[in-house]
């Protein structure tokens, strides 16, 4: 069964100290979700359980993302997480820390 995308939300998250890519990614997903208020379910004959949710996370080191922690940020639907190359790392002037910026796209689809 084909999926049809209904919603695209974007978010940005930062881990200012500590170099934790997953923490920055969690904050990006949280940012995207806080911008959503979905009130079309009854009119469309859908429920929040019908959602197929793809989360794409862009960070400089996608291999360091804990996918299960990111999935836990999304309270409904069937969730997949795809870490990809992106985001931005800003090293501290001292070189002993890094600010990590993550970008998230939360894509919500429903079966046709």
Report the pLDDT value the prediction gives residue 82, as an integer from 0 to 100: 98
Domain locations in the chain as residue ranges: 3-111
Q: Has residue 16 got a pLDDT over 90?
A: yes
By C-alpha distance, which of 72, 87, 79 is closest to 13?
87
DSSP state of 45: T
pLDDT at 25 > cutoff 90: yes
| pLDDT for position 44 | 82
- Asked whether the predicted pLDDT for residue 46 surpasses 90, the reply is no
Q: Reduce the DSSP state of residue 15 to 3 states and report it.
A: strand
SS3 category, 101: strand
Q: How far is CA 92 from CA 18, 29, 102, in A?
A: 11, 25, 17
Whether the Cβ atoms of residue 101 and residue 18 lie closer than 8 Å to each other: no
Q: For residue 70, is pLDDT > 80?
A: yes
Q: What fold characterizes domain 3-111?
A: 60s Ribosomal Protein L30; Chain: A; (3.30.1330)
26-30, 38-42, 54-58: least confident range: 38-42
């Amino acid at each position: 069964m084909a999926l049809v995308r209904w919603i695209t939300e974007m978010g940005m998250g930062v881990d200012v100290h500590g170099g934790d890519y997953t923490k920055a990614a969690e904050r990006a997903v949280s940012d995207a979700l806080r911008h959503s208020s979905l009130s079309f379910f009854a009119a469309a004959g859908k429920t929040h359980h019908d959602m197929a949710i793809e989360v794409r996370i862009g960070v400089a080191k996608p291999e360091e993302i804990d996918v299960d922690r990111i999935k836990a940020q999304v309270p409904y639907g069937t969730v997949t997480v795809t870490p990809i190359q992106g985001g931005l790392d800003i090293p501290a002037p001292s070189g002993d820390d890094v600010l990590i910026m993550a970008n998230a796209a939360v894509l919500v689809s429903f079966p046709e």
